[in-house]
Amino acid sequence: MGRQDGPVLDDQVCFALYAASRAVTALYRPLLDDLGLTYPQYLVLLALWERDELTVTDLGRSLQLDSGTISPLLKRLEKLELVRRERRSDDERSVRVALTERGDALRAKAVPLPGLVGDAMGLDGAELDELRDTLRELTESVNAYRERL
């Protein structure tokens, strides 16, 4: 198995990563539906629950997403009245994103999610930690590689 005369789908780490990521998102979906959130919206709220009042750029750095993805996403969160957006007075280019009361309150409902999803992954705590660390190294390595084209 492995290299026959070209790349094989199931041998690819990249495909395993792609499939795993989508499976986990799909697991979150019905749970997040109850909170009225999509998965990326949940990630934005996670960042804000951890530290409120971030700029759009801060959020982009945290989630590794650009403004083209985040701006419309924040617009939808604002329409849901989960976040507020306001231009910073000391730098009018910058927009501060803050939780509303509703956005803050949603945190309590989200507390059980990570445990539930962790269980579904079928790995114990140590394995999850190791996997997370491996994935972080991989991401950093790949992004460094991309920098130098």
**Helical ranges in 4-124 per DSSP H:** 13-33, 39-50, 56-63, 67-79, 101-110, 113-120
Judge contact between 64 and 50, C-beta under 8 A. Answer: no
Dist. CA 40–CA 63, nearest whole Å: 9
Minimum distance, C-beta of residue 7 to a copy of itself, in the bound complex (Å):
5
Q: Which of 91, 124, 127, 133 binds DNA (CB under 7 A)?
A: 91
Q: In terms of CB distance, is 81 or 127 closer to DNA?
A: 81
Record the tokens describing residue 119, joined without a space.
């269980």
Residues 72-101 binding a copy of itself (CB under 8 A) are none
**Residue 80 binds which entry of DNA, a copy of itself, none, with Cβ cut-offs from 5 to 8 Å by kind?**
none
62 contributes a contact to DNA by CB under 7 A: no
Dist CA 60 CA 70 (whole Å):
7
Selection from DNA, a copy of itself, none that 38 binds (CB < 5 to 8 A by kind) is DNA
146 contact, one of a copy of itself, DNA, none, CB 5-8 Å limit per kind: a copy of itself
